[in-house]
Amino acid sequence: VATGEAEIQWVPTEEMVADIFTKALPREKHWRFMRAMGLRQRLSGSVGMRSGDVSD
- Give the start-to-end residue ranges of the domains of the chain: 8-39
Torsion from C-alpha of 28, 31, 35, 41, nearest 10 degrees:
-160
Q: Exposed e or buried b for every residue in 28-37, given b needs 16+ CB within 10 A? A: eeeebbeeee
Cβ-based neighbours of 30, under 8 Å, separated by 6 or more:
20
The pLDDT, as a whole number, for residue 32 is 93
pLDDT in tens, 9-45: 999 988 999 999 999 999 999 999 999 999 887 766 6
Please tell me the pTM assigned to this model. 0.55
The predicted model gives 43-53 an average pLDDT of: 62
The pLDDT, as a whole number, for residue 39 is 87
The pLDDT, as a whole number, for residue 9 is 92
Instruction: Report residue 53's pLDDT band, with 50, 70 and 90 as the boundaries.
Output: low
Answer yes or no: are the C-beta atoms of 37 and 20 closer than 8 Å: yes
